[in-house]
């Protein structure tokens, strides 16, 4: 490992930390445009986080240490995930720490901590949100694993950098199996990040919310960390999607030029991905909670379809 690798690694983490709220702002802006509303400024998420950091934290009298610790743990896992995902360069020091399956485990850790923290104060909304979040989680994980399976059957490894290197260096032959799994992955991404068909990030209407319900008791810096972690999670998921389905342009050689190109390309891909998410959110309606299993089962079936295409046709 050369010093340059570490520079690239730290650059990757910093890009994720700084770009995640920006990406969220971009999605919100696109959505507002598509819905004929006047959009909030692009930098609104940063302002929100900054404001929250300056406020006094109010903590429920019956909250335990777990409640105060959880935002830091969740934020830490998301930063760790950002360090592992090859968003800019592939050969980084931390990428060896985990493969795609361990990454899924990492997201599960964050989910469990958010849910436990939501149950800690013992409010009706918190427990309700925790229960729903865990439900979405266990439905989404098999679908996500099938997506990873297809990608790793093609490249005979579950290590994300190796997968994207292999897919990126091949001639532009698009695998049909990957096309199916891409659809599955997008559905999982929407469900896991509390986006519209499953959850509505813009609402606080009690009976429909999942993610927001779990954060109701948080305030100030804890809330800021939770929101930042949520933005990071969305960013991470999009980067996993890019690494699996649009890996072209990742820096496989450790040199400044490749890194710069990769950064610029990442920006372009993120702009497109954000617009895409906003489009999906605009044209689809929020599902009832008990329709969520059908949505995720569809995602699972798409991934299985991709798998069968891969195993039967070798494509």
Closest CB 282 distance from other proteins, rounded Å: 28
Token representation of residue 71: 């935002």
Closest CB 183 distance from other proteins, rounded Å: 17
- Tell me whether residue 202 or residue 311 sits nearer to other proteins (CB atom): 311
Contact 160, 290 (CB under 8 A): no
Q: Is 180 in the site for other proteins (CB under 8 A)?
A: no
Phi, psi of 44 (to 5 degrees): -55, -45
Q: Is 128 in the site for other proteins (CB under 8 A)?
A: yes
Q: Is 125 in the site for other proteins (CB under 8 A)?
A: yes
Closest CB 104 distance from other proteins, rounded Å: 8
| Of the candidate residues 37, 203, 206, 268, the single one contacting other proteins (CB under 8 A) | 206
Residues 80-109 that bind other proteins (CB under 8 A): 80, 83, 94, 96-99, 101-102, 105-106, 108-109
Annotate 163-195 with three-state secondary structure.
HHHHHHHCCCCCCHHHHHHHHHHHHHHHHHCCC
The burial of 60, by beta-carbon neighbours within 10 Å (0-12 exposed, 13-18 middle, 19 or more buried), is given as: middle
Residues 228-287 that bind other proteins (CB under 8 A): none
Q: Is 311 in the site for other proteins (CB under 8 A)?
A: yes
Q: Which stretch binds other proteins (CB under 8 A): 24-32, 141-149, 183-191, 193-201?
A: 141-149
Token representation of residue 8: 């690239």
| Of the candidate residues 26, 75, 180, 302, the single one contacting other proteins (CB under 8 A) | 75
| Of the candidate residues 20, 85, 162, 242, the single one contacting other proteins (CB under 8 A) | 162
The burial of 155, by beta-carbon neighbours within 10 Å (0-12 exposed, 13-18 middle, 19 or more buried), is given as: middle
Helix (H, G, I), strand (E, B) or coil at 216: coil
Separation between Cα atoms, residue 178 and residue 167, nearest integer Å: 10
Residues 209-228 that bind other proteins (CB under 8 A): 216-217, 219, 221, 225
Residues 1-60 that bind other proteins (CB under 8 A): 53-54, 56-60
Place of tokens 């105060």: 68
Closest CB 37 distance from other proteins, rounded Å: 25
Q: How many residues bind other proteins (CB under 8 A)?
A: 78
Token representation of residue 260: 């710069």
Token representation of residue 165: 């290197």
Separation between Cα atoms, residue 290 and residue 144, nearest integer Å: 20
Q: Is 176 in the site for other proteins (CB under 8 A)?
A: no
Using the CB atoms, write b or e for 110-119: b if 16+ within 10 Å: bbbbbbbbbb
Closest CB 54 distance from other proteins, rounded Å: 6
Q: Is 298 in the site for other proteins (CB under 8 A)?
A: no
- Tell me whether residue 219 or residue 282 sits nearer to other proteins (CB atom): 219
Q: Is 70 in the site for other proteins (CB under 8 A)?
A: no
Closest CB 24 distance from other proteins, rounded Å: 19
Task: Tell me which residue of 177, 313, 314, 171 sits closest to 244, measured CA to CA.
Answer: 177
């Amino acid at each position: 490992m050369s010093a340059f690798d570490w520079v690239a690694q730290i650059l990757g983490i910093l890009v994720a930390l700084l770009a995640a709220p920006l990406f969220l702002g971009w999605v919100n802006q696109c959505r507002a445009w598509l819905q004929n509303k006047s959009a909030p400024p692009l930098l609104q998420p940063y302002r929100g986080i900054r404001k929250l950091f300056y406020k006094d934290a109010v903590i429920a009298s019956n909250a335990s240490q777990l409640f105060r610790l959880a935002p830091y743990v969740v934020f830490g896992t998301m930063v760790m995930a950002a360090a592992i995902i090859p968003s800019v360069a592939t050969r980084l020091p931390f990428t060896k720490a985990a493969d795609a399956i361990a990454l899924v485990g990492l997201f599960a850790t964050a989910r469990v901590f958010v849910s436990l923290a939501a149950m800690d104060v013992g409010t009706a909304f918190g427990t309700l949100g925790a229960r729903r979040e865990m439900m979405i989680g266990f439905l989404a994980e098999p679908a996500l694993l099938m997506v990873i399976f297809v990608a790793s059957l093609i490249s005979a490894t579950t290590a994300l950098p190796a997968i994207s290197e292999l897919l990126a260096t091949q001639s532009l032959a698009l695998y049909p199996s990957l096309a199916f799994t891409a659809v599955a992955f997008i559905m999982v991404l929407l469900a896991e990040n509390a986006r519209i068909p499953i959850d509505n990030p813009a609402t606080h209407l009690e009976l429909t919310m999942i993610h927001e319900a779990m954060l109701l008791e948080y305030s100030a810096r804890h809330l800021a960390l939770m929101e930042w972690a949520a933005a990071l999670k969305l960013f991470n998921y999009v980067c996993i999607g890019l690494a699996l389905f649009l890996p072209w342009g990742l820096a496989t050689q450790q040199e400044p030029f490749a890194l710069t190109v990769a950064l610029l390309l990442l920006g372009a891909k993120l702009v497109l991905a954000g617009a895409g998410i906003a489009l999906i959110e605009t044209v689809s309606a929020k599902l009832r909670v008990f329709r969520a299993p059908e949505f995720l089962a569809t995602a699972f079936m798409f991934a299985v379809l991709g798998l069968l295409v891969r195993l039967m046709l070798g494509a």
